[in-house]
Every structure is written in C-alpha cells, then in structure tokens.
Amino acid sequence: MLNAANKQLNRALTVTEDLEVTIRFYISLGAIAFISLCVTFAAPINEIFKGVTAIPAVGAMVAALYQLVRDNSAHERNKELNLQKQNLALASSSHMANAVFDKQAEFSDQYVKLVLKAFNDLRTKTDYDEAHAFAADLTILRLEYMNWLTEEIDSNLEGFERQLRKLGANSQYIKMPKGEGTVQEHRDNAARELLDIKSAFIDVLEKSTHDHDASLITLSKKIRAILGVEELAHHKNNILKHNGKNS
C-alpha cells in the first residue's frame, strides 16, 4: 500500500513538473512574440528592419504551434495506453474472464497434443486412412469445450478438421477396387486433393502451403489467436515501455 501511494505521489509530482515546464515554455514564446511585435510596430524603423524584427514573432508562433501538436499527440497516446491498461486490468481481474481463459488454454494444449500425435503418426505412413479418426477425436474434444469456445474459434478449427477428414476419406476412396462404385475422374480428383492436403499437413517447411487450412503454420496462428497471445504480448510491451519512460 505504501509503495503504491509513493508511486502515485511520484507520478503526480512528475506531471506537475512537466506542466510547469510547459507553462514556462509557452510564457517564454509569448514574451518573445510580444517584444518582437512591439519593436516592429512601435519602433521608428524602416520597412526592411520591421520585416527582420517580425521574424522572432513568427518563429515563436511556429514553435508554439509545433509544441501544441506534440502535446496533443502525447496526450492521445497516453489516453490510449491508459485505456489499454484499464481493459487489461479489468479482463485480468474478472473471475469469469479468468475461468474462460484457463479453459481455453487447457483446450488449446490438449488440441495441439492431438494434432502433433496425428502429425507424427501420419508422416511415417504411406496411406492416411487414420486421418479420419484423428479428425473425429479433434471434433469431439472441441465439442467437450463448446461452453468455453466462441463461434469464431469453432469456425477456424472446423476448417482444419475438415481437411483431415478429407485426407482420410480420400485415402480410403482411392484404394477401393475400380468399378466398385467409383468413377475414374472422381478417383483422380480425390488423389490430387489427397496430395494437396498431405503436402500442407506433413511438409511443414513447404512455404507455398502455409496459408492452407491443413497447414500447421496456419493452425498455430489460430491457436495463438484463441488465447490472444499476440495481443497480450503487444499490451505488455506497451505497458513496459511506458513504465520504463516514467521510471
């Protein structure tokens, strides 16, 4: 409590000192402009020298305008940073927000473990029938946490699961004997789609597939978005920078 009070007192003193410096700055500019204009209009000098004596007044007005713009920009930045602090404090202090975050973090860990298990199993095989079962496990896990996930999260992860189901279904389809309810054109399309999904899911280093729904790179971005990792890191860095400047 005492440390918090001391910090608030120090901040108040800093703000007061900054305000005093700003006031003295504007008073100095006003004095320069006043003296310059008095000499320009009251002193018995010719027009050429009047133009010269008016230069300090113009310079003072330009400096004042520049300082006003800087002060306004700094004020807006402080307002935005304070709002971010308040939002972050409110979110972190809310019991329900904490519960939701904990559940989403728990879900994300389990989801990633299942995905990595599917990745490690499928990359060592020549057929991908099991992909369908892995997709089912992921969907069931997502449904178990349906109370804690948003519609956006459901939509994002459903796309990945759909690709895994297609991988497994197409793997089974192209192995069916020809003529038993299959059409060659459909078999060719299924084979091409299988190779496309397999490349996106298994070949992690293939940059051309990084935007594919089956790509682990794409999935990792969606998982980070669930927990707001990027946003939290951004807010934390801003707060640390602001505290560093004021310390």
Q: What is the pLDDT along the chain (247 residues), one digit of tens a residue?
A: 334 434 444 554 454 556 566 667 667 656 666 666 565 655 555 555 555 565 665 666 666 666 667 776 766 777 777 777 666 665 555 667 778 888 888 998 999 999 999 998 988 888 889 999 999 999 999 999 998 888 888 888 998 999 999 999 988 888 877 766 667 788 788 888 888 888 888 877 666 666 788 888 888 888 888 777 777 666 666 666 766 666 5
Rg (CA), the chain: 33
pLDDT of residue 208: 65
Q: Give the count of beta carbons closer than 10 Å to the beta carbon of residue 162.
A: 15
Tokens of 240: 């640390």
Is 95:138 a contact under the CB 8 Å cutoff? no
Residue 165, pLDDT score: 92
Contact partners, residue 226, CB within 8 Å, separation at least 6: 104, 107, 108, 149, 153
Residues 6+ apart with CB under 8 A from 160: 115, 138, 213, 214, 218, 219, 222
pTM: 0.56
User: In angstroms, how far apart are the furthest CA atoms of the chain?
Assistant: 111
- Tell me, rounded to whole angstroms, the distance of Cα 75 from its chain centroid: 23
Q: What's the start-to-end Cα distance of the chain, in Å?
A: 18
Nearest Cα to 28, choosing from 55, 56, 69?
A: 56
Are 85 and 238 within 8 A, CB to CB? no
**CA separation, residue 224 to residues 54, 105, 117, 124 (Å):** 60, 10, 19, 27
pLDDT value of residue 187: 79
Question: How many CA within 13 A on the CB side of residue 2?
Answer: 0
Q: 205 in helix, strand or coil? A: coil
204 neighbors 216 (Cβ within 8 angstroms) = yes
Compute the CA torsion angle 141, 125, 186, 175 (nearest 10 deg): -110
pLDDT for the residue 113: 93
